[in-house]
Structure 1
Amino acid sequence: MTLDTVKHAEQTAEAEQPWKELGLKEDEYARIREILGRRPTGAELAMYSVMWSEHCSYKSSKVHLKQFGEKVPDNDAMLVGIGENAGVVDVGQGYAVTFKVESHNHPSYIEPYQGAATGVGGIVRDILAMGARPVAVVDPLRFGAADHPDTKRVLPGVVAGIGGYGNCLGLPNIGGEVVFDPCYQGNPLVNAGCIGVMKHEDIHLAKASGTGNKVILYGARTGGDGIGGVSVLASETFESTGPAKRPAVQVGDPFQEKLLIECTLEIFGEKLVAGIQDLGGAGLSCATSELASAGSGGMRVDLDTVPLRDSSLSPEEILMSESQERMCAVVEPDKVDRFMEICEKWDVIATVIGEVTEGERLEIFWHGEQIVDVPPRTVAHEGPVYHRPFARPSWQDALQADDANKLARPANSAELKEQILKLVASPNQASKAWITDQYDRFVQGNTILAQPEDAGMVRVDEESNLGVAMATDGNGRYAKLDPYAGAQLALAESYRNVAASGAKPLAISNCLNFGSPEDPDVMWQFAEATRGLADGCLQLGTPVTGGNVSLYNQTGETAIHPTPVVAVLGVIDDVTRRTPIAFKEEGQLLYLLGETHEEFGGSAWSQVVHDHLGGLPPKVDLERERLLAEILISASRDGMIDAAHDLSDGGLIQAVVESCLRGGVGARLVVPDTLSTGGSATGDAFTFLLSESAGRAVVSVPRSEELRFTDMCGARGLPVTRIGVVDGDAVEVQGQFQLSLEELRTAHTGTIPELFA
């Protein structure tokens, strides 16, 4: 077979090429020909196809994502923003923290274990490539109905993959979520986040500069797994027939990644690299084109020098392979020998595959024959830009008019008690300990808070006790009812969770999970959610450091609920002052912060009791969220509260039950007489216990701090209501019902093991 060289392409202009099979549109293929002034070679076509995929180029989303840069100014903490492998923020004392959330949704449906495992590996390398030591991971997850047979296939594999890979790396898994909903049946969402720590001077960027500098590929050998993996696989919808694309899923080796991490950190420590990039989505196509595009010159690569696991791979396959545990570094010639020595010490394969050139082209050769000659920016940064049509769905008004506030409420106290017990035991509200116990949450010894706390927290400096906290949140049901408000509610909840732990929110990352951008209804949801998130970040002063967009999450014509997941990172000066969720000291007073309204649209109660989705989600008041956060942070710092728990899914009663079970002590609650009746015999108690109004938290206050705490709330204008006391071995709502901790624990902890153990 004749090698498809650049010269051959010039001489065979009309040769048939599989551009459609590689996911390109006809006009995209025509544009590639226009850029090159000829037809592309097979290798060039492979590169453009993966780099111009939806997953890599953001071609349907970038026109909306630019709001994050245009609307939201950087705060004083921002060191590196959108455009690099991950964002970086200043957390004080000379430390910088880098963090990001990405998706590995489609691969995890096809091959749950490897899809999830390599999702962890990929996000860890993104953090590593910034110059940081990875210190913790988080994993927001969404699955189909908990009792569906395919969920029983997907969830155990995903959980095992996350635990298996992260545990082998020695990284604590400190946060995330697990949500069940039938809309995710054919499209589970496996989002993975990572936090890394470094000094300011250790930040590294992905660029290839310095003519004559060597390009070194190091890490695992390149194999046939993951060819066209996330780059193409994540850029199309699934058919209703189910998974059938296993070869496209990458295969991970966490022990190789651990060696790669330690090797890279030692290389950083000796300042041996001028630029670095991990190999994730689109593999070598991405690493070479992005390094060259962001640098000051061109690049020449000899592809036949790439170490292979499979000698039969073609040049196109080598360029498209997404084999894991690989990095690409740009190194000055006089530092190459030392670079190689460190790689040999860590048993990491390293090979010089090319060098930085004076020109402005990315040139790739195969056994001396040129197979790629492209302007790298056209591959990496100047892909297609689509202004997809979008319009408010015709069904949106009817959905919002189907008001959840009008659903039948419990007729008496016995029915209210029964519904609350059902809620506490429902898959979404039940304990996820069966899942999180498979993750090592405390390895390295610096974990301060981990699941099921409101936010994960790790110590950054062991002498000063400086720490960072991170929470991830998102509610697809809210976003389905109102994507703009739903995105802001996700931001508000994550912001509130970080503040409830005692940390000050600094910045966000996001993972925007939606259906097909070719559907105007879905594109409207995406546009509204992005606009809502940008407006919310502007109001809260939390810049967007980066993130990920995952589209085509739908099976046939059925899209997932719009699911913007927001990760908020915060800083705390002294982790010993952190606030847990557990009620512990009997006699402490319980206070509700914020206002409660009749807001049940998208609520857990409407889902569990009525299998209903309709109405409007809770109203968002971001100024109230900011005030609440300030109160929670101040109260934590000054020792006024011993526990805090944000109110979200399941309302006040869910939060109280979780805090009681976490601390092993009960609570007596009194329904305030300031709530409206809500139109039923137990209206006061019903709204008080189950409303999902935003901007609220419940705190336990030592009696000695009551006056100081309430005075602070009053002086700052935050509504505060005394609602009970920590006491006994039951959760009692006076005048309504009592549930023993034993009964609650059985209901809360039994559901997930019964479904999946």
Structure 2
Amino acid sequence: MSLDTVKHATETPDVGQPWAELGLKKDEYERIREILGRRPTGAELAMYSVMWSEHCSYKSSKVHLKQFSEKKPDSDAMLVGIGENAGVVDVGQGYAVTFKVESHNHPSYIEPYQGAATGVGGIVRDILAMGARPVAVVDPLRFGAADHPDTKRVLPGVVAGIGGYGNCLGLPNIGGEVVFDSCYQGNPLVNAGCIGVMKHEDIHLAKASGAGNKVILYGARTGGDGIGGVSVLASETFDDTKPTKRPAVQVGDPFQEKLLIECTLEVFAEKLVAGIQDLGGAGLSCATSELASAGSGGMRVELDAVPLRDATLSPEEILMSESQERMCAIVEPDKVARFLEICEKWDVIATVIGEVTDGERLEIFWHGEQIVDVPPRSVAHEGPTYHRPYARPEWQDALQADDAAKLPRPASSRELREQVLKLVASPNQASKAWVTDQYDRFVQGNTVLAQPEDAGMVRIDEETNLGVAIATDGNGRYAKLDPYAGAQLALAEAYRNVAASGAKPLAVSDCLNFGSPEDPAVMWQFAEATRGLADACLELGTPVTGGNVSLYNQTGDVAIHPTPVVAVLGVIDDVTRRTPIAFAEEGQLLYLLGDTREEFGGSAWSQVVHDHLGGLPPRVDLDRERLLGEILIAASRDGMVDAAHDLSDGGLVQAVTESCLRGGNGARLIVPDGLDAFTFLFSESAGRAVVAVPRSEELRFTDMCGARGLPATRIGVVDGDAIDVQGEFSIPLAELREAHEATIPGLLA
């Protein structure tokens, strides 16, 4: 087959092209022809198809995402915001921290190990590309029903992939979630996050400027794995009834990535890089077009110079390949020799594949023949924008009217006790140690808090003990009931978790997981969740620094619950003053902070005991969340509390169980006046936490709460070897531990 050059494309305008097979719509193909003034070459068509995919172009979501910029709160901490590989915030002492959460959902269903492993690899390279050393990862995960046979295939593979890749990189895995729900049966959510640390002056951006500067591709050779990859795969719906486009999932090599990290940090240290971009979704198509688009000139690339693992790859396949462990750097000519020398030292293949030009075009050649001549912005930043129709689904009113308050409640103390045990043993509330024990949480020696704590925390300066904390949260059940409130509750919980650890929340990254944007009901869910999150971030003063949208998460016409996952990053001046969740000493006084109401819509109790989803989620009070956060941070800093645990899924009894088991001590609880035991134990009212206060600090702590107007109710004491709800029941810790810890290993045996 003869090469489809730009000249040939100009001379043969009527040649048929496989635009539909590549995922383009007819009007999109016509738009490409209009931009170019001719039909695209095969290579150009390949580039536009992956870069204009839903995954890369955000064509259905960007009209809503602009709210994160329009409603952005004033923040002295924000250094780099939306639009770069990852956001960057100032954490003091000259340090900057970059963080981001992304998805690798579809690949992880097809090939759980490699899909999850390369999800970790990709997010780590995003952080590296900002100029930072990656210091920790997190992994919010969602799977189908815990007892479904396919969960036994997907979950162990995903966990092994995350652990295998992250452990080999020497990065501690300090946080995340594991959630089970049948709505994720054919579409698990594998989100991955990473934190990186650098000095302010070391921030790097993805742009190609300076005519004559060289374009260097370095890292692994380019292969046939992942051709089209996540860019195509994440831009369509799985279908049980017919074959679907399922490109080869990328194959990861963590040892190659470790070399790439150290090599990149060394070239950064020697100031050899003028611009840099990792190769993730859309591979070289993305890296070349985005670098050129963000720069001040054009770019010429010799594609046949790209080192290959498979010599039979066509130019189109090379441009679409999403082979892992690759980066693209812009380097001044007099620094190229030293750059290549450092790459050779680290046994990293590096090749000059082009240069920055003083033109305005991205030009790509194959053995001397021009196969691409495009305006780079048209590929990278000026793709389609869809104003998808959206409408509140007809079933939403009935769902909200099906109030969980109508469900039968325990009729006796014995039944109440049975339901507590059933709750703490349920897959979503049970111990996730089977998962987290496969991750190295303490490598590098700077992990301060990790699972099952409220937030992960790492020290970033060994002399001053400056540290950062991160928490990721999301509740698809809440968001199904009310997407606007559900997104705000996700933010509130992550914010609360960070504050409970003693860190001050600073900024947000998000991963917005939804069904097909072609469904008006799903698009309404997305629009409402985005609006809710933007409004809440503005009110809490936590700007969104970046993130990811993952659409088409459904099989056939069955969509997942709308699942906005929110990551909150916080800073703590001294990690030695952090607050753990464990009730570690007898005699500590237990205080419940916040107001408890009869709120059971979307609750763990309604799911576990009644398999019910209906009603309204807990009420959101962002002023209360901010006040609670301030109290928790001050109490941690001033030594007024020994332990703190936020209240969320499962309510007070779940939090107390986790804190007791973590510390090895029991608790005697007294139901406060005005509450019944059931509501006291199982309500999921937001804006609450339970704290353990040393007796010597009780007066100071309660005075602070009273002065600030935060309800603080003494509900018991750390004591004994059981959870004893006075006048109701007692459960020995040994019985609770067995119930809590046996579930996940039993399901996966």
Alignment of 1:203-242 (within 5 A): 203-240=203-240
Q: Distance in 1 between matches of 2:74 and 2:275?
A: 24
Contact 1:233 1:248 in 2 (8 A): no
Matched with 1:679 is none
**Aligned residue for 2:696?**
704
SS, match of residue 248 in structure 1: coil
Q: What is the CA-CA distance between 1:406 and the residue it aligns to?
A: 1.0
Equivalence map 1:153-552=2 (5 Å): 153-240=153-240, 247-552=247-552
Deviations 1:197-256 (A, max 9, x none): 000000000000000000000000000000011100000000125997664210000000
**CA-to-aligned-CA distance 1:53-88 (integer Å, 9 cap, x gap):** 000000000000000000113400000000000000
| 2:66 match: secondary structure | helix
Q: What is aligned with 1:639?
A: 639
Deviation at 1:756, TM superposition (A): 1.2
After the TM superposition, which parts of structure 1 deviate over 4 Å for at least 4 consecutive aligned residues? 241-247
- Give yes or no for the alignment of 1:726 onto 2:722: no
For the Cα contact (< 8 Å) 2:73–2:537, is it kept in 1? Answer: no
Which residue type is aligned with residue 249 of structure 1? V
Q: Deviations over 1:2-52 (max 9, x none)?
A: 100000000110000000000000000000000000000000000000000
- 8 Å Cα contact 2:215/2:353 also seen in 1: yes
* Amino acid paired to 2:695: R
Other-structure match for 1:681? none
TM-score, normalising length: structure 1: 0.99
Listed as ranges, the matches of 1:653-668 within 5 Å are: 653-668=653-668
Residue 149 of structure 1 corresponds to: 149
Alpha-carbon distance in 1 for matches of 2:636, 2:136: 23
Q: Following TM superposition, by how much is the alpha carbon of 1:555 offset from its aligned partner in structure 2, in angstroms?
A: 0.3
Partners of 2:68 and 2:680 in 1: CA distance:
37
* C-alpha distance 187-304 of structure 1, shift in aligned 2 (>3 A): same
In structure 2, what is the Cα distance between the partners aligned to 1:667 and 1:613? 31
Alignment map for 1:524-603 (pairs within 5 Å): 524-603=524-603
**Normalising by the residue count of structure 2, what TM-score does the alignment of the two structures yield?**
1.00
| Partner residue, 2:680 | 688
- Find the aligned partners of 1:505 and 1:249 in 2 and give their Cα distance: 36
What whole-Å deviation, never above 9, does each CA across 1:485-522 have from its counterpart, x for those lacking one? 00000000000000000000000000000000000000
Change (3 A) 1:252 1:241: farther
Q: Secondary structure at the match of 1:452?
A: coil
Q: Aligned AA for 1:387?
A: H
Measure how far apart 1:673 and its partner are.
1.1
Amino acid at match of 1:192: A
Residue in 2 that maps onto 1:739: 731
Cα distance change, pair 241–438 in 1 and its aligned pair in 2 (3 A)? farther
- Kept in 1, the 8 Å contact 2:233–2:246? The answer is no
Which residue pairs with 1:611 in the alignment?
A: 611
Matching of residues 76-95 of structure 1 within 5 Å: 76-95=76-95
Unaligned runs of 5+ in 2: none
The 2-side partners of 1:145 and 1:413 are apart by 30
The structural deviation recorded for 1:393 is 0.3
Change (3 A) 1:601 1:60: same
Quick one: distance in 1 between partners of 2:238 and 2:723?
Answer: 46
Residues 212 and 356 in structure 2, CA contact (< 8 A), matched pair in contact too = yes
What SS is found at the alignment partner of 1:175? strand
Aligned to 1:123, the other structure's residue is in SS state: helix
Instruction: Work out whether residues 263 and 346 of structure 1, in 8 Å CA contact, stay in contact via their aligned partners in 2.
Output: yes
Alpha-carbon shift at residue 349 of structure 1 (Å): 0.0
Change (3 A) 1:460 1:243: farther
CA gap of 1:247–1:388, structure 2 versus 1, over 3 A, is closer
Q: Is the 8 A contact 1:110 1:245 kept in 2?
A: no
Alignment map for 1:52-131 (pairs within 5 Å): 52-131=52-131
Secondary structure at 2:428 match in 1: coil
Q: 1:727 to 1:243 in 2, by over 3 A?
A: farther
Indicate whether 1:713 and 2:690 are aligned. no
Q: 1:665 to 1:242 in 2, by over 3 A?
A: farther
Equivalents in 2 of 1:73, 1:136: separation in Å? 27
**Count of aligned pairs between the two proteins:** 749
Output the aligned Cα RMSD: 0.8
Amino acid at match of 1:179: V
Distance 1:721 1:72 in 2: 36
Whole-angstrom CA distance in 1 between matches of 2:599 and 2:568: 25
How many percent identity over aligned positions? 89
How far apart, in 2, do the equivalents of 1:130 and 1:321 lie? Answer: 23
Aligned to 1:751: 743
Taking the aligned partners of 2:25 and 2:73, their CA distance within structure 1 comes to 36
CA pair 518-117 structure 1, distance change in 2 beyond 3 A: same
C-alpha contact (below 8 Å) 1:110/1:244 kept by paired residues:
no
Distance 2:12 2:195 in 1: 50
- Deviation track 1:429-456 (CA, whole Å, cap 9, x = no partner) reads 0000000000000000000000000000
For 1:716, the aligned partner's letter is: R
